[in-house]
Structure 1
Amino acid sequence: MESIFRIEGEFESYHFKNRLNRFAVETEEGKICHLHDPGRLEELLTPGREIYAIRKYKGLECEIIYTKVEDEFILINSKYHNSIAKNIIEKGLLGKNFKLKKSEIKLNDMRIDFLLDFNEKDYYLEVKGCTLLDGEFAKFPDAPTRRGTHHLKKLAELRRDGYGAGVLFLVFRKARYFMPNYERDQDFYYALIDAVRWGVDIFPLRLYFDGRRFFALGLIEIKIDGPAGI
């Protein structure tokens, strides 16, 4: 199986103690590390959990890259998402003949991650990372995300205007299904349902991470719970 992305650098192992704020973590070893992930990560960052980091980050002692749950290595650093997604697009792993045109497209008061060409038509693709596992279900989001809801509404608007639009969920867990998380964010849930009704594509792509390299395992099935359950 061919790797789609590799993280470089020397990793050091620490143990999670507590989250000082949204972007800073204290380890049991007394290190203060940068956390580049907007998610709540409560199910992953529990006291004593092993975390892996690269030394030094903008004045802090380290930057967290991933954690380990049983035999799973789980990326918890969102700065890599678009690099992974770019390789997925270029390798044609989403089942559509996409061609990359631009990254980080500004649309009024927000940015969309990618502008693609699909059959000579503009197609907008947003990327999200999914780390929450509930049984066989990968769920997004793990905390309320106003930004994510705005992205879905913008993608639905783009579809209404005749453009192509989709969301790529990078699933970093051993999941069989993907599900919008009604319990954590009902606004996001309803925005996703509405986006799908307008023709926005949903691509939940499961990835395997060996602590250094990422491998694409394929798209997983979407299931909907909550009031719109199917």
Structure 2
Amino acid sequence: MLLLSINLTIPFGKDRINPEIDDETLIASLEQNIEIIVQNLDIYSTLVTFFVDVSIAERLKKTLKKLTTAGHEVAFYNIRSTTSEIEIAKKILEDELQKKIRGLRQKLLKLPNKDIKSLDFSYVSNIEHSNIGFIFRRLKKDKTKLYYDDSLVFVPESLSPYSQLPFNDYVFQITPQKFYENMILETLQNEDYVQVYMNAWQFFEKEELPYAFPFYKKYNLGKSFEDKLIAFLDFVTENELATSRMKDYLF
């Protein structure tokens, strides 16, 4: 099973390449990227989980409503929000979507389990920081297994036994297509699922990227990245690989 997901974020503070660009402009450009992503997913009848940054969820609620109407799952990605801020955003978005938000994705900031439980989440997707150093910091296999803790389901990043690389956003961006496909097939021979995730910002052309990223994250963006997604969806279809939203697989 392939668990496919997309992170929806905009840059803040020092991550923003141009501090004069306002949030609404960035939200509008993010929505354009979401439209590109959804059009490609629709062609292949593929449903995914969209993890939206808590801090922009309310301003994206109409777009997120369209995603759930199309059958996709909407979950939260917490980058900098407090427990109380998540609680408020969750209630607003659940009222808008008329659906329970079950998933929480975390990276650098990780909340205590008791806080996550109090917010009524069912599962947690913890991801690693994908700077260039991760290539030399291999994930340990025992840290890539689904596990349960305090009545929560934790879904760590997947790891390829073929290459010992994680299936994160950056690996998808830079890895040659055939090599990546072999990673997928090899892993599915040994594991029940592979979690693959990417970011909506990867659909920006390098010249339009609003993030102040290092040079190695600006390779294969925009149309090149979209072409790679299409090739990947072709590969999934041709090999009859099953895909799933996170909540469907876990529950």
Report the TM-score when normalising by structure 1.
Answer: 0.29
The higher relative CO (CA closer than 8 Å, separation ≥ 6) is in: 2
Q: Normalized per residue, which structure has more strand?
A: 1
